[in-house]
């Protein structure tokens, strides 16, 4: 007999898997309830989600999505931190928390449709946030414009001082 509740959970999870931009798979074995609650709070504050998965349901839900190739992560106790928008949010939060709680084991990850290994997750965690990267990019655009304006201002200042010199000579 098919359980309607499980079918609904698989459909919801399949929909989430289709929309996720980045995810980090973890094993929470060794963490107590307070530590897991703290991790959930940090992820929620950073606009990411956290879910403890039932492997059989996750394997069914992954069919037809990019998560299908991640079946190796659906072994043993599995949880997933994910984001629909900012790729770096779950990576940074999980990596930061794993430094505080060594019992949190990272299995692997998923970014923009591709499976990533733990060493790549560590590299991504070192990148500045999206907002910082955008500000660096805008500063890069602004710098040449500021230099151009400064150059024009210098030419104009030289021209005006030359005119002032000619005015003084004529008096």
The CA-atom distances, in angstroms, between 71 and each of 74, 95, 115 are 5, 22, 11
Asked if 28 and 38 sit in the same domain, the reply is yes
Q: How far is 103 from 46, CA to CA, in rounded Å? A: 22
Tens of pLDDT, residue by residue over 118-153, are 888 888 888 777 777 788 888 887 777 777 778 878
Tens of pLDDT, residue by residue over 78-128, are 899 999 888 888 888 998 888 998 888 999 888 888 888 888 888 888 877
Q: What is the pTM of this model?
A: 0.72
Asked if 136 and 121 sit in the same domain, the reply is no
For residue 64, the domain's CATH number is 3.30.70.1730
**Which structural domain range is residue 27 located in?**
4-127
- Report which secondary-structure segment, H or E, holds 141: helix 130-170
């Amino acid at each position: 007999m098919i359980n309607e509740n499980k079918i609904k959970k698989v459909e919801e999870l399949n929909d989430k898997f289709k929309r996720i931009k980045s995810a980090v798979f973890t094993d929470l074995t060794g963490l107590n309830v307070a530590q897991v609650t703290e991790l959930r709070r940090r992820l929620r504050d950073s606009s990411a989600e956290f879910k403890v998965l039932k492997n059989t349901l996750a394997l069914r839900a992954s069919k037809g999505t990019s998560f299908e190739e991640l079946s190796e992560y659906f072994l043993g106790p599995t949880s997933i931190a994910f984001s629909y928008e900012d790729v770096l949010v779950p990576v940074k939060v999980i990596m930061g928390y794993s430094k505080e709680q060594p019992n949190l084991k990272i299995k692997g990850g998923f970014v923009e449709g591709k499976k990533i290994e733990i060493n790549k997750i560590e590299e991504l965690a070192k990148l500045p946030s999206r907002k910082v990267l955008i500000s660096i990019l805008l500063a890069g655009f602004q710098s040449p414009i500021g230099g151009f304006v400064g150059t024009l201002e210098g030419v104009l200042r030289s021209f005006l001082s030359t005119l002032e010199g000619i005015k003084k000579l004529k008096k």
